[in-house]
Structure 1
Amino acid sequence: MTDPRRLIPRTDTVLADPRFSQALLRLGHDRVKAVVNEAQRLAREGTIAPGEVAEAALASLPADGPRRVLNATGVILHTNLGRARLSRAAVEAVATAAGNTDIELDLATGRRGRRGRAAMAALAAAVPAAQAVHVVNNNAAALVLAATALAAGREIIISRGELVEIGDGFRLPELLTSTGARLREVGTTNRTTADDYAAAIGPDTGFVLKVHPSNYRIEGFTRTPGVGELAALCARQDVPLVADAGSGLLRPEPLLPDEPDAATWLARGADLVTASGDKLLGGPQCGLLLGRADLVERLRRHPLARALRVDKLTLAALEATLGTTGTPTSAALHADPAGLRLRAETLADRLTRAGVAAQAVASAATVGGGGAPGVTLPSAAVAVDVTLAEPLRLAEPPVLARVERGRCLLDLRAVAAEDDEDLYNAVVTACK
């Protein structure tokens, strides 16, 4: 009897299959060969039939990079989806920056120039209240750099009500103490006064840290001094006030009156403000440092700044974001509820005529991304059968919806109008 293992196709025979041509170009010969060898091993063990080697290998090939996903959750800045969508201008800037650029070259003189000077100039122009600016790879990095440069071996004074967890199990206290700084907690969870800070400030104080609770709210019997009050106290004690604004607003946003912005906090006396670039600013992931020239320069020249610097793609996207008149984040935030309702009704009507049970319903969207906790934005959604949630995630493009009260809701607040056709096709396909 012939050993069935003799029927297992040779590696070069499988790799010659035209179905592997794109994978070989995309992944390279060695990676594809390793996948084929694993399928052959399964065939030798009898887990799959010899004739199934090619199909098993094809099914096991790594997927193509990041996939475009339609965000129909109603969460504008969805962390699991990469937070802010870049503007068209930012995307084009990234494409240009993918080649050789003048990131550290002064073309006029032919000599080395300051890295990312155009992006820094755009950021400085966007926040005139800042004497100087710097950019690192995220807001946590901005705080780490500040703690390392200003408070290593010293104390950071912070309210107990601001010892936040920033996501994925990372906690601000652990982040700060990893730099060699010590935390001096003051006040209580719900109430901290300026006197609490004043009593703690001493010769060992590196700086006072004010953290905006961007991903939670404490209500009821609460009190905490504002930035202006703390800034006056710190000025009298000659201690820097570092303020973490978090969610990335550079200027006041009328729709989010309780969300702090860098310009206002600097005007009220904060010495250094940190914020995220990929949240309400609507740009790439990065951490913004804005404030006193001497402090920013001290951070910029610290050895750790080299490890935390951003790449040319981020700088290009940030510059373009700051120079554009609008971003997808801003468009979603300011979307007209009546317009959203009309889109939902149109989409629901088309789906109904295609044989899909669909209904336009009122919805409530949120900012997300650790910003504006408790704030809801009136929106509109298309309600379809709850069983469609999974096939929609597996559609092309994938659609992430919100399951609520036994329905699958396709909230349109974070879906661009030009994507409605793709959303329609994904739902129709998911029903087949």
Structure 2
Amino acid sequence: MKTSAKTKLHLIPSVHQLAEQLQTTEFPRDMVIRIVRDEIVKLKKRLHAVSFTTKAEAHTHLLHEINNRLSRLLKPSLKRVINGTGIILHTGLGRAPLSEAAIQNLKCVTENYCNIELDLHSGERGDRMSLVEELICLLTGAEGATVVNNNAAAVLVVLNTLAYQKEVIISRGELVEIGGSFRIPDVMEKSGAVMHEVGTTNKTHLRDYENAVSKKTGLLLAVHTSNYRIIGFTKSVSLKELAAIGKKHKLPLVYDLGGGAFIGLEQFGLSHEPVVSESIAAGADVVTFSGDKILGGCQAGIIAGRRKYIDAIKKNPLMRALRSDKMTFAVLEATLKQILRPDQLKSLSPVISMLTESIDEVQGRAIKVQNAVGQQSHIRIVVRDTFAQAGSGTLPLEKIPSVDVTITSSRMSAKQIAERFRFSDIPIVGFVKENAFHLDMRTVRTDEVEVIVEQLKKIMIE
């Protein structure tokens, strides 16, 4: 194999030969030369695997690869996609789609200058946190609030502020790992706090916390196990009980809530998800949660709680490194203001709308796909009942009734069908299961049905 690769080296054209044939004025010359060199190096590394045997073939191959790369550089890498996975808060697809109000506020703020740190009343420098702090406090019952760039950052800065080089008592059953390898023990280590585990995976008693408190203790930490449940022979300690221990020993109780529901989801016919205001009312001194999960906003880590702890967190130098920008505040403010009108959330929030939409409406979209395409010779389309998911650790046990479009073909595999959909002008993402390609229609908007139909028609003529 090595001999074969060496023999093929003479087939590769020079950098100059290739660069002369690239008629592009859209890139600086030195950048084009760099890309040509990169592609030659890549080819040399895999010469043993290529099939061409002439200089012309090697030349054509390299020009094709270089032109493709130049073309890709001119197109956005971050694209709009159609979500046919049935996972409403899909981390890989950007989690929550924003509301119209959030989009308009974001557009206004980013197209123009804004008062991100200017007090318009006094004309003096302002505090960006004041843009949303009042809203968060009104909605949660907290005394103070601040915002960082995600919930992992929120946990990090809270632990670093309140328990640096001190012990943090936490139940073993709450040492969670969520998507993206976010592990509570790792974040705690980076914060400078010292982890003190108590209890066991399935059982932690009140006495376990009591026995662990010492002069070294900095705080008590509770973590909402949002992406799994332990059922059966279990025992855990409530926030109210932990708050009593904290009060007795003058220790703050921090609750990593994760999801961050501002209102009870039961009113929409869904299971209970911990609400921020309930956590604060139960005695949590500081609560951290995400802005882009059930809240339906952008990526953000929100910290709410007692004023003295929030003020201390705000003064931590890490806040400068973790602070959110004007785009986050524009989206977050508009999203929070929608919660002031809970009776209108179904129409205002895309997340709540998808969670609560009637099964008849979802089925209607599936039938539109089936009827618009019909049953072609090599394509078979079946509409069937299924279940969607909230995703991102929200409502982990909730099965949301849904309908999917199942597509099979006698000419191509399910994986090939999936590729055809992903490679469409507007990428369409579904999933492969039981040798079929599936599109769950709960996460597909009505205006996106036509895009799916058009791509199906293209597949039929292949």
Amino acid at match of 1:203: K
Query: What is the CA-CA distance between 1:119 and the residue it aligns to?
Result: 2.7
SS in 2 for 1:244: strand
Q: Is the 8 A contact 1:105 1:113 kept in 2?
A: yes
- Partner residue, 2:5: none
CA distance in 2, matches of 1:31, 1:332: 45
Q: Which moved more, 1:259-268 or 1:345-354?
A: 345-354
Q: Does 1:110 align with 2:118?
A: no
Return the alpha-carbon distance in structure 2 between the equivalents of residues 4 and 79 of structure 1. 43
2:308 corresponds to which residue? 294
Partner residue of 1:123 out of 113, 133, 136 = 136
1:54 to 1:231, Cα distance in 2 relative to 1, 3 A: same
1:378 paired with 2:407, answer no
**Quick check: 1:77–1:84 contact (8 Å CA) kept in 2?**
yes
Instruction: Tell me the alpha carbon deviations over residues 317-337 of structure 1, each in whole angstroms, 9 at most, x when there is no partner.
Output: 111211234222111111111
Q: Which has the higher helix share?
A: 2
**What per-residue deviation string (whole Å, max 9, x for no partner) do you get for residues 92-111 of structure 1?**
22223324211001233322
C-alpha distance after superposition, 1:303-354 (max 9, x if no partner): 1111111111111111121123422211111111121112211221112167
Cross-structure match for 2:342:
none
Q: 1:156 to 1:5 in 2, by over 3 A?
A: closer
Separation (CA, whole Å) in 2 of partners of 1:48 and 1:309: 53
1:35 match: 35
Distance 1:7 1:409 in 2: 46
- Stretch of structure 1 that moved more, 265-274 or 417-426: 417-426
- Mapped to 1, the partners of 2:453 and 2:252 lie a distance apart of 54
8 Å CA contact 1:93, 1:316 repeated in 2: yes
Q: Mind listing any 5+ residue stretches in structure 2 that lack a counterpart?
A: 1-10, 48-54, 339-344, 409-413
Cα distance in 2 for partners of 1:407, 1:366 equals 20
Shift in CA distance, 42/346, structure 1 to aligned 2, threshold 3 Å: closer
Aligned twin of 1:157? 169
Cα distance, 1:170 vs. partner?
3.3
More strand by share: 1
Distance 1:202 1:64, change over 3 A: same
SS at the partner of 1:245?
strand
Q: Contact 1:251 / 1:264 at 8 angstroms: preserved in 2?
A: no
Counterpart amino acid of 1:35?
I
CA distance in 1, matches of 2:138, 2:301: 17
Cα pair 2:264 2:272 within 8 Å, conserved: no
Aligned to 2:438: 409
1:55 is the counterpart of 2:77: no
Q: 1:133-168: per-residue Cα shift (whole Å, max 9, x none)?
A: 110111111111111001111110100100011223
Residue 285 of structure 1 is matched in structure 2 by 299
Alignment CA distance shift 1:271-1:50 (3 Å): same
In the superposition, the TM-score normalised over structure 2's length comes to: 0.84
**2:225 alignment partner in structure 1:** 213
Task: Name the CA shift for 1:256/1:162 in 2 (closer, same or farther; >3 Å).
Answer: farther
Kept in 1, the 8 Å contact 2:254–2:286? The answer is yes
How far did residue 5 of structure 1 move?
5.0
- Counting matched residue pairs gives 421
Residue from 78, 84, 88 that aligns with 2:100: 88
Match of 2:457 among 400, 416, 428: 428
Whichever residue aligns with residue 55 of structure 1, its letter is H
Residue number in structure 2 paired with 1:185? 197
1:192 deviates by 0.8
Q: Where does residue 327 of structure 2 map in the other structure?
A: 313
- 1:331 counterpart SS class: helix
Amino acid at match of 1:109: S
Tell me how far 1:264 sits from its aligned partner: 0.8
Q: Which shifted more, 100-109 or 284-293?
A: 100-109
What is the aligned partner in structure 1 of residue 360 from structure 2?
338
CA contact (8 A) 1:395 1:429 kept: no
Structure 1 CA distance, aligned partners of 2:160 and 2:15? 63
Instruction: Give distance in 1, aligned partners of 2:41 and 2:216.
Output: 63
**Residues 397 and 426 in structure 1, CA contact (< 8 A), matched pair in contact too:** no
Q: From 381, 388, 391, give the equivalent of 1:368.
A: 391
Give how far 1:67 is off: 1.2
Correspondences of 1:394-405 after superposition (within 5 Å): 394-405=423-434
**1:369-412 deviations in whole A, cap 9, x for unaligned?**
12222221000111111341221122221111122222211101
Hey, what's the Cα distance between the residues in 2 that align with 1:377 and 1:288? 27
Maintained 8 Å contact 2:218/2:251: yes
Out of 62, 65, 81, the residue aligned to residue 77 of structure 2 is 65
Change (3 A) 1:354 1:123: farther
RMSD over aligned CA atoms reads 2.5
Q: Which amino acid aligns with 2:152?
A: A
Cα distance in structure 1, aligned partners of 2:58 and 2:201: 63
Could you tell me how far apart the structure 2 residues matched to 1:86 and 1:134 are?
A: 21
Aligned amino acid, residue 303 of structure 2: L
Q: Which amino acid aligns with 2:353?
A: A
Question: What TM-score comes out, normalization by structure 1 length?
Answer: 0.90
Aligned letter for 2:350?
P
Match of 1:11 in 2: 19
| Equivalent position SS for 2:402 | strand
SS of the residue aligned with 2:388? Answer: strand
What's the secondary structure of 2:240's corresponding residue? helix
Q: 2:135 & 2:259 partners in 1: Cα distance?
A: 19
Among 384, 388, 398, which residue is 2:417 paired with? 388
The one of 258, 273, 280 aligned to 1:246 = 258
Spell out the pairing of 1:215-230 with structure 2 (5 A cutoff). Answer: 215-230=227-242
Q: Cα offset for 1:80?
A: 1.1
Provide the C-alpha distance between the structure 1 equivalents of 2:179 and 2:41, rounded to a whole number of angstroms.
41
Per-residue deviation, 1:228: 1.6
SS at the partner of 1:413?
helix
Q: Is the 8 A contact 2:152 2:182 kept in 1?
A: no
